[in-house]
Structure 1
Amino acid sequence: MKIADRVLKLRELMREKGIDVYIVPSVDFHQSEYVGEYFKCREWISGFTGSAGTVVVTHEMAGLWTDGRYFIQAAKQLEGTGIQLFKMGEPGVPSFIEFIVENIKKGQCVGFDGKVMSVSQVNDLKSKFQEDIKINSDYDLIDMLWTDRPDMASSKAFVLDTKYCGEDIQSKLSRIREALEKENCDINIISSLDDIAWIFNLRGNDVKNNPVNLAYAIITADKAILYIDDRKLDNSVEEYLYENHVDVREYFEIYEDAELISSSEVVMMDFNKTNFTIYNRIKDVVKIINRPNPSNLMKACKNEVELENLRKCHLRDGVAVTKFMHWLKNQVSQEKITEMSASEILEGFRKDQDLYIEPSFDTISAYGANAAMMHYKATKDSDATLKPYGLLLVDSGGQYYDGTTDITRTFVLGECSYEIKKHFTLVLKGMIKLSKAKFLYGATGTNLDILARQSLWEQGIDYKCGTGHGVGFLLNVHEGPQGIRFQYNSQRLEEGMNVTNEPGVYIEGSHGIRLENELIVQKDLKTEFGQFMKFETMTYVPLDLDGIIPELLSEDEKEFLNNYHRMVREKLSPYFDESEIDWLKEYTREI
């Protein structure tokens, strides 16, 4: 069926079930950002392939809500579907919940699959209704229409050795139980896949590029229960869980066990990460406390073993990306290279590195105007041929047994305009200012975000996304609770957290530039004014000097860049042959 026909069929089902408004979010049963093929309902009903967005269908209209990363892409993919684009965050644009509240009438019904709507979203929806509005969370209407829907993922789980992650399962469970006791809670219900992977030191491949298993967990003072399809567990994993006193139950049994929770018990769950159906199954008399899972902050603060492994991991990843840069610079005028073939070559360099598993997300390889779409993904139809002029933006990363990487470099392929070089230099200035930051403990990423944007703001330029995010350890490439963004984030930057630093410029129809390093939060000097903090850069790849206008850099910025390039050259040289080293010296030279 065409998209427009799918929407018509959905409306027929809505009438049959007595539903006036139906919501289709992007997530799975665990509120994950990236989802397996089975859960791509919003993509199926709309044709929009971005990772974030919500579709709302009424009997008269259909709309897609998505954020600034996807405005250009969504507009193109929605053409001819009859689905209206709502640009989240833009002046005068209501949220999808505000839209529903404004357009629904007394006595009508809002429907959704309760397993893919968070408790927070449903509570927010309910709180805004002023009249008698019904809610039906029982139906997955997309499942009734999607006749060739893929099966749910069933990859094998594997145990991550403590030589990589630095802390065993018993230690983690003990810390979580201490946190529960401190909050006077008896039960922690955990739905988020990366938290579960971290707690149990298990990894899998149920979500492309995200090494997690579809699972739920319940932790009490004396029990740890893992809800997972037992076909994912081989004998060694079963033995590991048994030895660590972890009860294993069937994946969907979490819903039955939620109904059995005693009225005398206090439950802790994260309303943003728990689906409404689990919450709805718990008796009304049970006290439920909405808190981030204790594991969320524990996971974000990497231990010394993880940090040392990450540095090694980033070094090997830097070798791969720099060898790609060398190849690209030398071959772009010699052979046919496309966005997709360049991405495959980069993947080949990563495969040559020890402990490599897979990409940490789908590589963004975007030439020219395509790079103006922040999360562009080349297809056979859009796969541009690279020319010896303009820019190629490559945002990529790797999953390794000893860590996860995320790096963006924008490569100058040849001649480009002064405006493009100016934009490149402004992005670099923002990256350097954030990298150099010294800040008092207690600061959040929101306090620091202006450092990355200031040089752009002075020229009337901005980018419609955050500046940085946490990164998991052989886990999701986007990890909280920390972040660096203009929008408010209350999480303090703690020692051991890692965060990306990735300002950019995106000019529709012309070009896109993003430069990204990963940083580690460290303690700096302590004075009578308090504990000061700083960043360590752990990404080791040259920043393309061909795109820089040196006169636009301050002396401090030049010094930082020269020191960074000296470090890159020293770390990478042992892995390069003589001709590559000559090239490396040229691209890490002092300016």
Structure 2
Amino acid sequence: MDTTQKKLAELRKVMKSQKIDAVIIPSNDPHQSEYVSPHWQERAWISGFTGSAGLVIVTHDHAGLWTDSRYFIQAEMELANSGFTLHKMYNQFGSPHIEYLLETLPAGSSVAVNGFMFSKQSIDGLQNALSKKKIGLVYQKDLISMIWKDRPENSLSPIFIHSETFTGQSINEKLRVIRNKIKMAGGDALFLSTLDDIAWSFNIRGNDVEYNPVAIAYAVIDKTSAHLFIDARKVTRDVKGYFTKAKVKLHPYEELLQFLSSMGSDQTLLVDESTISQSVYDAIQCKVKYHPSIPKWEKAIKTNVEIQHLRNTMRKDGAALAHTFHWIEKSLKQKKSINECDVADKLAEYRSQQEHYFGESFAAIVGYQSNGAIVHYHAHRDTCKTILPKGILLVDSGGQYFDGTTDITRTFTLSKPKKKHKISYTSILKGMICVARTKFPKGTTGIQLDTLARQFLWSHGLNYLHGTGHGVGYFLNVHEPPQGIAPSFAERGKTVHEVGMLTSDEPGYYEDGAYGMRIENLIVAKASEYKGFLEFETLTLYPFEKKLIDKKLLSCDEKHWINAYHDECYQRISPYLKGEVKSWFKKKCKKI
């Protein structure tokens, strides 16, 4: 019996003693984060699946993992011989895991969840669905903590101030905007649990979650003051002084529930039901009004100061990429042995040499040949592939800088490409360009833009199963709601794009067991020359793989756009390069 099967046996033993028929274990933490600290990685701990999205259900005779198409290949590999069965989610409609419970559990059964790990909205939906078959839901039991004995502690890394030089707004300016919105919404105070919302609102950053510069905290903002619930050991003297000037009161993290329960019954607290956990919600004694997170929408619209910083950040990020990709080509020509992990290390090394660098924005995806078909692939030293001077290499990476967050994907051919490679790559490129060049009326949503990116792949009978784009934070989470470009009516698909929203544009194509291709730039919405219409400005800077482009498939306008883009890449990145790398890069930026 392997480690995962032993954990399952221990969990089922506890379930039996607690009279529980099924337990649901999500990916998130009490703050409903996508990426979570090791302390809260319960789903990964019990199943062995390390992808960022997925949900586990364990009954007395079955253990299943539900995840989407980005992780099918990864999940199949990581769940092998684990005792877990992969349940593939092919679209974002419905709740197949709930359907599974309704189909397999008899009436009178009991399902347990940790109420801190599920939002109020999720619990309401789950209770409503299960009640149809008279299945009970217990959300006061944390079964995983009963068996996870060596659970890691949360980080004590100090928080720090994100300078107004980079944000363009002071903490007082942001709190003033939030308070005005609270008043307009008919509230007396606002509750915040989402870590990036809190980081943005207070102009602070942390290092509690890998790749995301956030700190584990809660916050309540009222008409005259603000309350931050955080481990005091993480707050330095300078930061305390900063908070004092802004009238921010500090409280121990664990005192949140007591504070909420003591709020006056005549007060109205605004909460986002999609992010406040059920167990936190239960502590509230005052009036509650559901309202979308105010900071979520404010931070999604980047200021002119932030956008100007991002333009500069893309230049130095592009320089780091140039050094890395030059190193790859040179190493292969010299017949040196390099692998996927070596490339990831080089990306981090060259980015770390850039001004204002903080860290990576996610684990670099360096997928050679068949590994490129794993959308969120992460290479490990003991299993990563050696890169040879042939085939297809996909590289998706990003950096966290004090002056912005980057996320870029490029695909390369390391030998003469096949015809099908050029068709799929050129179709992807055409789709990416179509989104980047489009003008669209105000009120346009992500689902409307998504088709623009897919149309050229569709014309060849090709497609990809993931969304086309996601919002991106500013020295914050690389995946930032609410906007995106996606083929569903989930938040990313139904959100209207507004001026200042920063979004990725990343169509792709994947052939299981063979190769993967994706091209990704970051684009920001701005007003167009036509009244009532918007357009995108492309911020990311790095040339495309000319050897994979089939020029016969391009229109004259598309060729002109690519050539102008390549010229801009050279003009803006080359000042950061010297000697051999600069000469090499100039060739990469030549006209097609």
- TM-score, scaled to structure 2: 0.97
Ranges in structure 2 where 5+ consecutive residues have no aligned partner = none
Find the partner of 1:502 among 506, 510, 515: 506
Cα distance in 1, alignment partners of residues 506 and 88 from structure 2: 22
Mean CA deviation greater in 363-372 or 459-468: 459-468
- Residue 37 of structure 1 pairs with residue 38 of structure 2: yes
Q: Which amino acid aligns with 1:394?
A: V
CA deviation profile, 1:102-161 (whole Å, cap 9, x unmatched)? 333332211111111111111101111214433222222112211211111221100011
Cα distance in 1, alignment partners of residues 89 and 272 from structure 2: 24
SS in 2 for 1:487: coil
**Where do residues 147-162 of structure 1 align in structure 2 (5 Å cutoff)?**
147-162=149-164
Q: Which amino acid aligns with 2:512?
A: E
Q: Is residue 388–residue 415 contact of structure 1 (8 Å, CA) maintained in 2?
A: no
Deviation at 1:93, TM superposition (A): 8.8
Cα distance in 2, alignment partners of residues 194 and 92 from structure 1: 27
Cα distance in 1, alignment partners of residues 95 and 444 from structure 2: 31
Aligned to 1:290: 290
Cα distance in 1, alignment partners of residues 100 and 181 from structure 2: 39
Cα distance in 1, alignment partners of residues 341 and 440 from structure 2: 41
Aligned to 2:393: 392
Cα distance in 2, alignment partners of residues 143 and 91 from structure 1: 30
Cα distance in 1, alignment partners of residues 90 and 122 from structure 2: 17
Cα distance in 1, alignment partners of residues 381 and 583 from structure 2: 36
Q: Which amino acid aligns with 1:498?
A: L
Q: Is residue 26–residue 117 contact of structure 2 (8 Å, CA) maintained in 1?
A: yes
Cα distance in 2, alignment partners of residues 431 and 232 from structure 1: 43
Cα distance in 2, alignment partners of residues 41 and 91 from structure 1: 23
Deviation at 1:260, TM superposition (A): 2.0
Aligned to 2:194: 192
- Residue 454 of structure 1 pairs with residue 455 of structure 2: yes
Q: Which amino acid aligns with 2:49?
A: F
**Where do residues 69-468 of structure 1 align in structure 2 (5 Å cutoff)?**
69-89=70-90, 95-128=96-129, 129-283=131-285, 286-334=286-334, 335-468=336-469
Cα distance in 2, alignment partners of residues 93 and 46 from structure 1: 23
**Where do residues 52-71 of structure 1 align in structure 2 (5 Å cutoff)?**
52-71=53-72
Deviation at 1:502, TM superposition (A): 0.5
Deviation at 1:26, TM superposition (A): 0.6
Q: Which amino acid aligns with 1:563?
A: A
CA deviation profile, 1:139-188 (whole Å, cap 9, x unmatched)? 22112211211111221100011010110111111111111111111221
Aligned to 2:521: 517
Q: Is residue 187–residue 268 contact of structure 1 (8 Å, CA) maintained in 2?
A: yes
Aligned to 2:546: 545
- Residue 480 of structure 1 pairs with residue 477 of structure 2: no
Cα distance in 2, alignment partners of residues 377 and 208 from structure 1: 14
Deviation at 1:516, TM superposition (A): 0.5
Q: Is residue 230–residue 251 contact of structure 2 (8 Å, CA) maintained in 1?
A: yes
Aligned to 1:492: 496
Deviation at 1:308, TM superposition (A): 0.8
Mean CA deviation greater in 346-355 or 259-268: 259-268
Cα distance in 2, alignment partners of residues 197 and 256 from structure 1: 23
Deviation at 1:500, TM superposition (A): 0.6
CA RMSD of aligned residues (A): 1.5
Cα distance in 2, alignment partners of residues 396 and 314 from structure 1: 13
Q: Is residue 469–residue 503 contact of structure 2 (8 Å, CA) maintained in 1?
A: yes
Q: Which amino acid aligns with 2:277?
A: N
Q: Is residue 523–residue 533 contact of structure 1 (8 Å, CA) maintained in 2?
A: yes
Aligned to 1:590: 591
Cα distance in 2, alignment partners of residues 222 and 349 from structure 1: 45
SS in 2 for 1:49: coil
Identity among equivalent positions (%) equals: 40
Q: Is residue 322–residue 542 contact of structure 1 (8 Å, CA) maintained in 2?
A: no
- TM-score, scaled to structure 1: 0.97
Cα distance in 2, alignment partners of residues 501 and 91 from structure 1: 20
- Residue 566 of structure 1 pairs with residue 567 of structure 2: yes
Q: Is residue 333–residue 387 contact of structure 1 (8 Å, CA) maintained in 2?
A: no
Q: Which amino acid aligns with 2:363?
A: D
Q: 1:485 to 1:400 in 2, by over 3 A?
A: same
Deviation at 1:278, TM superposition (A): 0.5
Mean CA deviation greater in 511-520 or 264-273: 264-273
Deviation at 1:577, TM superposition (A): 2.0
SS in 2 for 1:322: helix
Deviation at 1:94, TM superposition (A): 5.3
Deviation at 1:253, TM superposition (A): 1.0
Mean CA deviation greater in 36-45 or 262-271: 262-271
Deviation at 1:33, TM superposition (A): 0.3
Q: Is residue 88–residue 94 contact of structure 1 (8 Å, CA) maintained in 2?
A: no
Q: Is residue 364–residue 376 contact of structure 1 (8 Å, CA) maintained in 2?
A: yes
Cα distance in 2, alignment partners of residues 492 and 16 from structure 1: 49
Q: Which amino acid aligns with 1:464?
A: L
CA deviation profile, 1:273-327 (whole Å, cap 9, x unmatched)? 11110112223xx442222211111000011111111111111101111221222
